[in-house]
Structure 1
């Protein structure tokens, strides 16, 4: 070797690797280039004037090395690989309990495709992470500046393709139980410091197989975490540089991903040079914290002396980003970044043990929930007896520590029997609490099996992963008796799934407003878990405001955040008592993200209702649902009228009847509400009724023929037309349009045919007798009997538009059971039941009630019971239709109503009295009527124009005068009387 490498501190290592490449690869080649390139990457990064500190995400070794280095170096500027636009959020970490995640959220996008919305980027922070140590040091140390240098959240979506933003790596552990906390980050894109994992699948498989481990997290713990936990600073840096270079050089040549990685490195070095130039800070007083993968960078912009001005940072889009903190958890971090289940919890436990073992004092933010503030040390070193501070002499810059680390045999930790015995006892105790039949013998078996597995894997000390495998083998026999398996119990025992919490001061205004408005409930709503709230609105009317908030939360937040146990809210109905199960602390992330959409629940709800109503996929039913919600939760007549008017436009543009049932249900509810709570109907619902009547009349013939239109949808159309008919006709609609639509309908489906018959009965074009005859013809036709259940389905659906046909439907079903033999009835009986259950489940109660009214209530009366449709029917008009003898109609009238004949004769001036054979002559006709009904005589006199009063002996008008008056005022009556009395 010659050139710049001759004087390098890694010259000896480079020579050894070159000889090894020539030996194993039979001569120089690709292997030599990879090995020597790795040494070059380490040398380049180690010699950089601006100290680079490589880290791995959520690594206790990285966090421990970071805390140690910060106390030694005391840098004045810390450059951190984190989205630069998240810097204002870092001070809010004091009010939170870790782990939490920094979040950038955008609901409305400008410059990105609309289908990407909403956009969300999260960066989780745990205490056992190097980034938290750097943040705590910079924020709590005076005159220290923290600068975030990574791309902004906007550039995350600018540079990456949307289909690659989802996590491609799957969770390594094949656990059957997925904790609910794994979804705390939702669909957000994760940004982490130090994504250190092989991108070459064959390399990872090779490492796992030869390392005798199951997944990558276990390999990293065994071969990196443990050796680096006690190493010095230079050794740590060079080893991390080497691992980053190895993974980078063996990564597949994916153009897009490589481009994004290199652009991120150019971005960060550009930002750091800009800051150094603007502040004049000495690079020796700075520390650059980044992932080991990016520390071994080969871009031209690398280093403070790299090429300047060659990379241009693109401007951000017009998207407005909002920022906040959301709760996170170990399970959420593992699920989002493809780590093994329980690995972050185990890392947290190792962090605590390492602090006790090394006595390194970590940095913690002052006021951090659940922690104690750290005492910063101004200068490293120790004091002599004279009080002089002795600072350890630094090693030569760039000294080769890598060679000694690679040649050092693995350190075999002695078995900590007390720790392993404690684990064994604890897991048996936890297993028994969860339903396992574990005993002391199982604890002994777990202890011995852990040692055996560690020995088979060339380890002197069992790792938590060895212990987990041993516990599963010895305790979990054939089934899981409880909710958790043994693997999950070990994870909980090792530290559990810690879940963070965002403090009240760091919440957005909307979330704080919700907690303030629910304060009268006197509950600790920020705690996790379910809490019961009891609201007696009659005794405490002030709780009505809390009830309004809870109903809006139920509408806006995920299921379970606010769940009503007792009480309901419907149009025109309010409960006097309510009971709620509240879990706002568990769903704190959803509540925080509501704060990104507005400053109050009412504003967010109104925005969502508008978005749903005016969206491209909005239907008439969804718009009416928005109208109902605006009335229920907001009480806004203005918004309801606006959305109702928009529903008219949506209805007029629809060409299908898919949403007819939902439209019918919601319009009926809104109409009933307005009729009982408003003095007049809103203009929009009157216009909707007119438009809907004409619209469904137009679509009715097509819907009857359309195979895609179900019988329930057609029945809903008819239900709208018949139930809204009176209102529509009063508003100017023409009933002829409906009659023509029904006449033009010619369905082929049996169910729709039965529905059409029911509509004709309602319109009066088909009598109920004719309908019964048609049903009887169906049962008489052997070819139609197999499809008779479909006719019955149509009849049942007809109860929606024509509820008066319930008795006919009961009769049709009863006739089928009575007339059809068992070989015919039994095959289609299951089909009848499934048809009614799937298509008319909500209408079946009407049919059952009608059957209960018709059939006898007691079994003893069933034998003598005769169905109403078989009982002899008396015709009320039989007497009228019966033939009469050939007698003058006047004589019939005389025999039936003699008093009436006397009155009519008196009015017409007939002085001869009517008499029956064998009876004495009656008194003057007028006298009888006058004495019996004087008020009637006065009314008739007024009708005929007689001004004088009627008297028993007084004169009456002449026949000519009376007849003329009657003919003039009531010609039809005069003609009828003349026909009746003359027989013409």
Structure 2
């Protein structure tokens, strides 16, 4: 036992002694420090060499390059989901960074509300795993084995997965679960805060860069390996022991060691020729299944579910990696710049896949033929921990270049920066580095200095100075998946859009002009663009000129295309089908069969099916589903949309086909019976709005002729209207309009009721609500437009200001939100009613103002009855002469038998009854 711990006995003793003195006796601290040394010793003594890494760490990448060229392993075990292995060869066709993705939309043994499931594993050029992958794929005789749990097990071990999507819209990874090698970060919040406070840094990425990256960048392999396992053990031992994350990590370690032992037994490869690449956190594992020695128990791996997983590559970016894994903004870009500088300084030749796109081609260096030998375990930690790190001196040329470039970039973005600011940034960077115990300013010091000296208190443009520093130090590099690595659907999209003549791989927004009349070969591309606009998120495909509606055919179109920027979404369409048309059909079918599907949703799907697919069979299937959904609905919330869409569809079929489809006829008859049944309840239900009731009446009245021809009974509608007894003023006005449409309420009586409302002081405050109901009544009874204009005019003329003025904003917002399509009807009617010139305003008499006077004159002839009428009949000559003077036509004698007389004469007598009554006793004897 003594021989096993001999290399680290001295270090263990020093740490335990120091911890005991510091803690004042035995306790947890000495035990933890001793345990850390034991973890390092255990990892280094394992026969299968363990290479601990941290994800996207330049120091890990450099150490990997050195070790691979020195050891030349024949088998590399990599901590990555085992079912992602077929994707690795496709990295040759991509520009890094990209992410390996597993995607599933058809779930089995998982809750349906989890879907779709997605797992991504981002790859960057500076990462150690990419160096291992490149070495293994391009070196003959080397086998690469992925040993981590499958993507199916990722979700099997996530019983409490949240279904909320919290990713930002511009995050290239979306809401996918991220898998990375080397999640090396304290899982004890107080520990992380302690390290940041005493390290005089703002965030974890800066602490890691100062205290791990820089000291290990030039360290030998043995020192690097021991320090990484030490850090992993420290964070592991200080993590909450009962957390679910720790339990999942331990199961992952059991899984990986079991897979490696299985491969070693099956292949017979020598352990000395193998290399196990994993996160430093997992290198310090203490599970019983750790190691490859005989007698180590295996982990029972559960079978995968029947979930169908699809695999592919999607673009990634530095900002997407930072957002998904909680890294500081700009840290991945800074790591990439550090990697490039370290490669140049160390004169190492990193491994790079043949044909890799978007990276600088480096001359391949032949690997020397050396035999792999087991190295004796020696204590390198004592010297590393006891001596201060050898820090680089100030690189004035590099810092000066940064300062000059940031001032130039700031001026381009609207800042009033000058040479004095560049000098201030230079001096402040050195000052901050000294305050933070650094001999050389880091990019983080430079960022803080630039913000302090340039930004002041105003950001004049879209980018602040911190973002400008990130752009200067490398920017947010966005990867791209090459054509050969795309799924069939994505390749088909690029092929079908080729006639447009644009490079769709570019990440910029490009303008496409389509002359469909002059170049008919562009019509299929236009059709595809409209389908992509339906499938892809906003911004990927945006029409500038042109539209796609029923009955329309564009001759020219203009588009803004950003397919390269949204390549991830195009790739994920390939997981849903082989062609875009198939994906559209699946989306439409899924929408109408969803649990929350409504008749309005189904009608929208019918319309989209006509526009995009043109399949009569599929359209009829969606239409039949719309009939089922309408009959099953118990609310009328979607009645306005149902009415608008069914009207548009009926107009389309009447214009293009000789007869209506069977589903349209069934929808009309079902809707007629459905809305007649719900109408009385909707009138009295407070939760049902006036717009919904108006839409129901609009459906019943506008579809009445078709419904009656299909066998519906009009008595059902009349009965429903008669059974409606609303109390809300707006619905009362709507019911009056329905009565008028059915012939139950003449217009004269309707006008009388409105006059009575305005004359009643108790009703005047609520009259605007009646008026809102009349406006909504234009939907079912459009012929009421002149009457509504009359009512509005009378309201403006007679309502008192305390009632009228507060109501005006409500009227405007109501018309805009609920009756926007009815406003043009009112405006046209008002244009016909009111004078069109300013000179005619003074002499204008509204038609509804003159009408009561004519009604009084038409009723006047009955007034002068009895002796006056007999006198006029007995002396016709005098009356004829008077009628001629008044301009009345002869023949009034025939009308006298019905107790009537010429209108003008009798109207004159009716207006002066006193004279007629005084004259009558003199002309006609009494008795």
Q: TM-score by structure 1 length?
A: 0.86
Q: Any residues of structure 2 matched to 1:912-951 within 5 Å, and which?
A: none
2:204 aligned residue: 216
Residue-by-residue CA offset, 1:638-671 (whole Å, 9 max, x unaligned): 1111111111111111010011001000100000
2:321 aligned residue: 333
Q: Per-residue deviation at 1:377? A: 4.7
Contact map agreement 2:215 2:391 (CA 8 A) in 1:
no
Of 244, 249, 256, which aligns to 1:261?
249
User: Matches of 1:287 and 1:375 in 2, distance apart?
Assistant: 25
1:345 aligned residue: 333
Q: Per-residue deviation at 1:780? A: 1.3
Q: Per-residue deviation at 1:374? A: 5.1
User: Matches of 1:878 and 1:627 in 2, distance apart?
Assistant: 56
User: Matches of 1:403 and 1:806 in 2, distance apart?
Assistant: 93
Secondary structure at the counterpart of residue 870 of structure 1: helix
2:100 aligned residue: 102
Are residues 537 and 15 of structure 1, via their aligned partners in 2, closer, same or farther at CA, if it must alter by over 3 Å?
Answer: same
Of 781, 806, 811, which aligns to 2:760?
781
User: Matches of 2:424 and 2:469 in 1, distance apart?
Assistant: 15
User: Matches of 1:165 and 1:805 in 2, distance apart?
Assistant: 51
Higher mean displacement: 793-802 or 841-850: 841-850
User: Matches of 2:622 and 2:162 in 1, distance apart?
Assistant: 38
User: Matches of 1:294 and 1:394 in 2, distance apart?
Assistant: 24
User: Matches of 1:209 and 1:470 in 2, distance apart?
Assistant: 19
1:850 aligned residue: 829
User: Matches of 2:550 and 2:544 in 1, distance apart?
Assistant: 19
Contact map agreement 2:510 2:561 (CA 8 A) in 1:
yes
Residue-by-residue CA offset, 1:372-418 (whole Å, 9 max, x unaligned): 555555544xxxxxxxx9x7998951111011000011323211111
User: Matches of 1:557 and 1:13 in 2, distance apart?
Assistant: 59
Of 181, 184, 187, which aligns to 1:193?
181
Q: Any residues of structure 2 matched to 1:268-667 within 5 Å, and which?
A: 268-305=256-293, 307-372=295-360, 377-380=365-368, 396-667=375-646
Secondary structure at the counterpart of residue 859 of structure 1: coil
Secondary structure at the counterpart of residue 584 of structure 1: coil
Are residues 322 and 15 of structure 1, via their aligned partners in 2, closer, same or farther at CA, if it must alter by over 3 Å?
Answer: same
Higher mean displacement: 623-632 or 154-163: 154-163
Of 67, 88, 106, which aligns to 2:86?
88
Higher mean displacement: 409-418 or 673-682: 409-418
Of 27, 30, 48, which aligns to 2:28?
30
Gaps of 5+ in 1: 171-177, 381-388, 887-915, 917-984
Gaps of 5+ in 2: 871-890, 892-927
Secondary structure at the counterpart of residue 51 of structure 2: strand
1:129 aligned residue: 127
2:6 aligned residue: 8
1:57 aligns with 2:55: yes
Q: Per-residue deviation at 1:833? A: 2.8
Contact map agreement 2:103 2:116 (CA 8 A) in 1:
yes
Are residues 475 and 157 of structure 1, via their aligned partners in 2, closer, same or farther at CA, if it must alter by over 3 Å?
Answer: same
User: Matches of 1:765 and 1:631 in 2, distance apart?
Assistant: 41
Contact map agreement 1:366 1:372 (CA 8 A) in 2:
no
Q: Per-residue deviation at 1:832? A: 2.9
Residue-by-residue CA offset, 1:205-255 (whole Å, 9 max, x unaligned): 000000000000000000000000000000000000000000000001234
User: Matches of 1:167 and 1:877 in 2, distance apart?
Assistant: 74
Secondary structure at the counterpart of residue 616 of structure 1: coil
2:907 aligned residue: none
Of 213, 218, 227, which aligns to 1:225?
213
Residue-by-residue CA offset, 1:903-939 (whole Å, 9 max, x unaligned): xxxxxxxxxxxxx9xxxxxxxxxxxxxxxxxxxxxxx
Q: Per-residue deviation at 1:678? A: 0.5
Secondary structure at the counterpart of residue 848 of structure 2: coil
1:671 aligns with 2:650: yes
Larger Rg: 1
Contact map agreement 1:790 1:835 (CA 8 A) in 2:
no
User: Matches of 1:704 and 1:6 in 2, distance apart?
Assistant: 88
User: Matches of 2:30 and 2:621 in 1, distance apart?
Assistant: 73
2:911 aligned residue: none
Are residues 19 and 744 of structure 1, via their aligned partners in 2, closer, same or farther at CA, if it must alter by over 3 Å?
Answer: same
Are residues 470 and 165 of structure 1, via their aligned partners in 2, closer, same or farther at CA, if it must alter by over 3 Å?
Answer: farther
Are residues 489 and 7 of structure 1, via their aligned partners in 2, closer, same or farther at CA, if it must alter by over 3 Å?
Answer: closer
User: Matches of 2:465 and 2:701 in 1, distance apart?
Assistant: 63
Q: Per-residue deviation at 1:750? A: 1.0
Contact map agreement 1:627 1:640 (CA 8 A) in 2:
yes
Contact map agreement 1:612 1:623 (CA 8 A) in 2:
yes
Contact map agreement 1:52 1:288 (CA 8 A) in 2:
yes
1:163 aligned residue: 161
User: Matches of 1:459 and 1:65 in 2, distance apart?
Assistant: 23
Q: Any residues of structure 2 matched to 1:62-81 within 5 Å, and which?
A: 62-81=60-79
Secondary structure at the counterpart of residue 320 of structure 1: coil
Secondary structure at the counterpart of residue 534 of structure 2: helix
Contact map agreement 1:167 1:336 (CA 8 A) in 2:
no
Contact map agreement 2:599 2:642 (CA 8 A) in 1:
yes
User: Matches of 1:668 and 1:509 in 2, distance apart?
Assistant: 39
Q: Per-residue deviation at 1:567? A: 1.0
1:812 aligns with 2:781: no
Residue-by-residue CA offset, 1:804-862 (whole Å, 9 max, x unaligned): 11111111111111112334432333333333333323322211221111111122211
2:740 aligned residue: 761
2:900 aligned residue: none
2:921 aligned residue: none
Contact map agreement 2:721 2:738 (CA 8 A) in 1:
yes
Secondary structure at the counterpart of residue 163 of structure 1: coil
1:20 aligned residue: 18
Higher mean displacement: 237-246 or 632-641: 632-641
Contact map agreement 1:166 1:189 (CA 8 A) in 2:
no
User: Matches of 2:531 and 2:294 in 1, distance apart?
Assistant: 56
Secondary structure at the counterpart of residue 7 of structure 2: coil
Higher mean displacement: 641-650 or 842-851: 842-851
Secondary structure at the counterpart of residue 569 of structure 1: coil
User: Matches of 1:255 and 1:414 in 2, distance apart?
Assistant: 43
Are residues 328 and 534 of structure 1, via their aligned partners in 2, closer, same or farther at CA, if it must alter by over 3 Å?
Answer: same
User: Matches of 2:593 and 2:82 in 1, distance apart?
Assistant: 36
Are residues 167 and 290 of structure 1, via their aligned partners in 2, closer, same or farther at CA, if it must alter by over 3 Å?
Answer: farther
